[in-house]
Chain A
Amino acid sequence: ILNVEQSPQSLHVQEGDSTNFTCSFPSSNFYALHWYRWETAKSPEALFVMTLNGDEKKKGRISATLNTKEGYSYLYIKGSQPEDSATYLCAFLKDSNYQLIWGAGTKLIIKP
């Protein structure tokens, strides 16, 4: 059974603070790891697609790292803003044609 776990389940962060959370996935048969941002009442939107061990990707104040040998990825948000409030999902692929295996998400709430 392929299992993708995200922690913490939810997180309250003060506006302006930086934060990070984790996605753990099987370290064998790795193909790719996706991060998505899901705002309330909207649909998930992709942030990053990561494929190589040691990958580090950045989009504005958000960045992500990937360790395929130990099976984890971190998502970092620098200087949190209220608009960062959302659920952040990661999804794992073991090959290009396989279905995405989703984590349960980390719900991030930014307190003004």
Chain B
Amino acid sequence: DAGVIQSPRHEVTEMGQEVTLRCKPISGHNSLFWYRQTMMRGLELLIYFNNNVPIDDSGMPEDRFSAKMPNASFSTLKIQPSEPRDSAVYFCASRTAENTEAFFGQGTRLTVV
């Protein structure tokens, strides 16, 4: 397996534009996490899916952020409209429901100018 795959690796966009980040979890993993890494807060959980169903989205900053998982092999995190304070590295991770570790993607570095 190629691991957790995120795209794009880098995204530079202008303030007000819509940004969509993508994640393909490891096949067979039924839990998927979106995290944001910032200097101030470290690794911050945004949303957590289990079997494609959002379980905890309390970390989603505001209504500008939305996430979907239409099937077991794909998830998106959308920011609309984007703001400069959204600039961060966004990680996707997946794991199985059994007691195994989380596997992280390489991250998407988002810069909003």
- Note all chain B residues with C-beta closer than 8 A to A97: 31, 50, 55, 97
Residue pair A44, B104 in contact (C-beta under 8 Å)? yes
Q: Which of A94-112 contact B (CB under 8 A)?
A: 96-97, 99-100, 102, 104-105
A55 contacts chain B at the CB level, 8 A cutoff: no
Residue pair A31, B101 in contact (C-beta under 8 Å)? no
Binding-face segment, A16-24, A45-53, A57-65, A66-74: A45-53
Residue pair A44, B99 in contact (C-beta under 8 Å)? no
Whose C-beta in chain B lies nearest to the C-beta of A32? Answer: B99
Q: How far is the CA of A34 from the CA of B99 in the complex (A)?
A: 10
Whose C-beta in chain B lies nearest to the C-beta of A46? Answer: B101
Please report whether the interface of chain B is mostly helix, strand, loop or mixed according to DSSP.
strand
Tally of A interface residues using CB under 8 Å: 21
Residue pair B107, A43 in contact (C-beta under 8 Å)? yes
- Note all chain B residues with C-beta closer than 8 A to A42: 106
In the complex where A99-B33, A105-B42 touch, is A49 in contact with B98 (Cβ < 8 A)? no
A89 contacts chain B at the CB level, 8 A cutoff: yes
Residue pair A96, B99 in contact (C-beta under 8 Å)? yes
A103 to chain B, nearest CB (A): 9
- Note all chain A residues with C-beta closer than 8 A to B106: 42-43
Q: How far is the CA of A45 from the CA of B43 in the complex (A)?
A: 13
Q: How far is the CA of A105 from the CA of B106 in the complex (A)?
A: 19
Q: Which of B93-111 contact A (CB under 8 A)?
A: 93, 97-107
A-B contact pairs, 10 of them (CB 8 A): A43-B91, A43-B105, A43-B107, A44-B91, A44-B93, A45-B104, A91-B102, A93-B99, A99-B33, A105-B43
Closest 5 CB pairs of A and B: A46-B101, A43-B104, A99-B48, A32-B99, A104-B42
